[in-house]
Structure 1
Amino acid sequence: MNDYNVVAYTSKYYDQWNSFVAQAKNATFLFHRDFIEYHQDRFEDASKMIFKGDKLVALFPANKNGDTIYSHQGLTYGGLLLKDQAVFTDVLNVFKELLAFFNKLGVNDLVLKMLPRIYNKLPSDTLDYFMFILNAQLVRSDITMVIENSHRLELTSSNRKRGLKKAKKQNLVVKEEEDLSAFWNQILVPNLRDRFNVKPVHTLQEITYLKSKFPKNIRQFNVYKNDEIVAGTTIFESEMVAHAQYISANNQKQELGSLDMIFHHLIEDVFASKKYFDFGICNENEGKQINQGLLSWKESFGARSISQNFYKIETSNYKNLNTILK
């Protein structure tokens, strides 16, 4: 493994990092440095770049918290970022070198938040196999609700059909907006505060900044009745997936069918050619419970579940990877 070298990311690698992300088979815009660093004051960055000789062969977005490395707590998913040409032995050598590097630094545990496979441009489950070899502990598992557009289920839910009829009768209008403030201030923030006593993960200032950096990836769709906003959703769009990052409506959603209207428009029209439409998770209590109402609502659009797993790896177990090849 002596021809591999693990290097800590610094700003001098900004362009090289982002160029690699753009070409990786298992990366989205969330791994761009501008996205990772929008909340850099909250995390101690521990991102690594792995070189083979002079050639950059992998990235590992990460942060450090105490004596544990995470992949990355400020992102929805993570893992080892690779190019199309990476074969099994490349991934094996890179991940072994990475674990050995952390182990030598005195890091005992690495917590890996897996990238759901729907985001992969090519098959990329090698790390899943390594979790078995490394005796990794499964510490959390979420389900995310997904529509595969090439095999979209016919909408059979009577509630969804009735909601869409209501929306059409109410003359609701769906518009894509550049300004997120109406949705944040009038719908999302009050709704989350009143129903759950929580705030959005992103402040309006943060999401506005991120949209300015990624205008093609972060898209806002609102529903209006008589020019008054009644619902909306914020979409994070990557090459393979349109993901509903935020979904919210005012307390008239049952009467108006506003959410039925917006998701019918997005699934049937705006993102019909996207491979997957991702409604997001239904989990609570660190993955141990599922919000049944939310689950049923997402299933009623034809979404079905895939899993996202979180593993804890003892870095000293990197030696186990020496036993794989015969």
Structure 2
Amino acid sequence: MTKYTVKKYHKSDYKTWNEFIGQAKNATFLFHRDFMEYHQDRFEDFSLLIFEGEKLKAVLPANKKENSVYSHQGLTYGGLVFSSKLKGEKVESILDSILIFFNENQIETFYYKPIPSFYFPEGNNEIDFFLFKRGAVLERKEMNLAINLQLPLQISKSKMKHFRRIENLDLDIVEEQHFSPFWNKILEPRLLEKFDAKPVHTKEEMAWLKQNFPQNIRQYSVCQNDEIIAGITIFETQNVIKSQYAATSKQGEEARAVDFLFINLIHKYKRKGKLFFDMGIVNSDNEKEYDLGLLTQKQELGCSVYNQDFYKLDIK
């Protein structure tokens, strides 16, 4: 059996880590250290590098909380990241090496959150089977809504009827270079009013992330008479477009400006050859419930359900 060496990430591994992420089979820019560390004050990093001899074969973006390790709570998705040439049976050996390392470091529980399967058409489910074999349980599921852009679009007739009407309202779509208009005038006020909540990212954090990942993070706004009335923040990866934030003012609600923007972006990225448009989850604060209105809205835009699984493994 191949022997692997597991070590915790150290800042001296910055270049090695990022070079590996750049060529890995199943990585996105969220796993670049610059993205992972914008909120490093909120999480105790416990990321791992797994070597075969001197050669890096896999990494695990992760954080530690008490005696548990999570793949990674500060990221939308996580999981074991490995090189494109790694065979399935070696993933099993790598998992065993990680579990031994956890045991040696008094880790009692491992929470695993893989990337949704549609992000990687060549597959990304090797570790799920091996986790199950070692006693992992499916702790919870979330409904993740996404559009398969490779298929004919299935936007509802009612959405398209309103879309054709909206096209006559003299609305402008603008790709912004700054986040302040959307954050200050739309996103923060609406989240506070509707949910008594704040966005996960501050506008300063988003500006910093866009500066570091200018091709991956985009802000689109809908304006009417030069006034912003809605917006969508996009995370763009090789295959997938993800709407990270979407919000509208009351004026924008009346004009159905978010639907107008979504439909335009769906067509835009279908033409560009993206494979999926990820519109995120519809679960409510109660993990066993879901937001029916949000589910309906996303399905009417052409989304299907792709489950997001969460695993829990007790370390023995």
TM range (shorter): over 0.9
- Confirm or deny: 8 A CA contact 1:176 1:219 kept in the other structure: yes
- C-alpha distance after superposition, 1:8-66 (max 9, x if no partner): 11111111100111111111000000011000001110000000000000000111100
Letter in 1 for 2:310: F
Matches within 5 A, 1:83-162: 83-158=83-158, 160-162=159-161
2:175 aligned partner: 176
Q: Given residue 300 of structure 1, which amino acid in structure 2 is its aligned partner? A: E
Alpha-carbon distance between aligned partners in 1 of 2:35 and 2:303, rounded to the nearest angstrom: 28
Q: Give 1:281's aligned residue.
A: 281
Task: Determine what percentage of the aligned residue pairs are the same residue.
Answer: 42
The residue aligned with 1:7 is 7
Report 1:291-302 matches (<5 A). Answer: 291-302=291-302
**Cα pair 1:25 1:121 within 8 Å, conserved:** no
1:286: Cα distance to partner? 5.0
Distance 1:56 1:111 in 2: 23
Q: How far apart in 1 are the matches of 2:2 and 2:25?
A: 26
Does the aligned pair in 2 maintain the 1:224–1:230 contact within 8 Å? Answer: yes
Paired with 1:151 and 1:162, the residues of 2 have a C-alpha distance of 21
Q: 1:242 matched to which residue of 2?
A: 241
Indicate the residue corresponding to 1:197 in structure 2. Answer: 196
Instruction: Say if 1:140 and 1:310, in contact at 8 Å, map to a contact too.
Output: yes
Question: Does 2:304 match 1:304?
Answer: yes
Once the two structures are superposed, residues 271-307 of structure 1 have per-residue CA deviations (whole angstroms, 9 ceiling, x without a partner) of: 4310000111100135311100000000001101001
Distance 1:311 1:134 in 2: 12
- Partner deviation per Cα, 1:112-135 (whole Å, 9 max, x = no partner): 111111112521211111232122
More off after superposition, 250-259 vs 110-119: 250-259
Show CA shifts across 1:161-209 (max 9, x none).
Answer: 2331332121101111111110000000000000000000001111111
Partner SS state of residue 167, structure 2: helix
TM-score (norm 2): 0.97
Per-residue CA deviation, residues 48-86 of structure 1 (Å, 9 max, x unaligned), is: 000000000000011110000111110011110011101
Q: Secondary structure at the match of 2:101?
A: helix
Give the gaps of 5 or more residues in structure 2.
Answer: none
- Whether the aligned pair in 1 keeps the contact of 2:240 and 2:275 (CA below 8 Å) is yes
SS at 1:151 equivalent = coil
2:43 is equivalent to residue 43 of structure 1: yes
Match of 1:320 in 2: none
Equivalent in the alignment of 2:165: 166
Contact 2:233 2:244 in 1 (8 A): yes
Q: Distance in 1 between matches of 2:146 and 2:2?
A: 42
**Which amino acid in 2 is paired with 1:132?**
F
Q: Counterpart of 1:58?
A: 58
**1:2 offset after TM fit, Å?**
7.0
TM value normalised by structure 1: 0.94
Partner-residue secondary structure (3-state), 1:207: helix
CA distance in 2, matches of 1:222, 1:112: 35
Aligned to 1:220: 219
What residue number does 1:321 align with?
A: none
Contact 2:2–2:93 (8 Å) recurs in 1: no
Residue 71 (structure 1) aligns with:
71
Q: Cα deviations across residues 221-241 of structure 1 (Å, max 9, x unaligned)?
A: 000001100000000000110
User: Would you say the 8 A contact 1:27–1:119 is kept in 2?
Assistant: no
How many residue pairs match? The answer is: 315
Equivalent pair of 1:177/1:221 in contact (CA under 8 Å): yes
Counterpart residue identity of residue 251, structure 2: Q
Is residue 175–residue 220 contact of structure 2 (8 Å, CA) maintained in 1? yes
**Aligned match of 1:322:** none
In the alignment, is the contact (CA less than 8 A) between 2:150 and 2:270 conserved in 1? no
Change (3 A) 1:100 1:270: same
Runs of 4+ in 1 over 2 A off after TM superposition: 152-157, 252-255
Counterpart CA distance in 2 for 1:79 and 1:154 is: 31
Equivalent in the alignment of 1:324: none
Q: Name the structure 2 match of 1:268.
A: 267
Cα-Cα RMSD: 1.3
Q: Equivalents in 1 of 2:225, 2:62: separation in Å? A: 46
Give how far 1:152 is off: 3.1
**In structure 1, distance between residues paired with 2:103 and 2:57:** 21
8 A contact 1:143–1:306 mirrored in 2: yes
Cα distance in 2 between the residues matched to 1:99 and 1:88? 17
Distance 2:64 2:259 in 1: 41
SS in structure 2 at match of 1:277: strand
Distance (Å, rounded) in 2 between the aligned partners of 1:192 and 1:49: 38
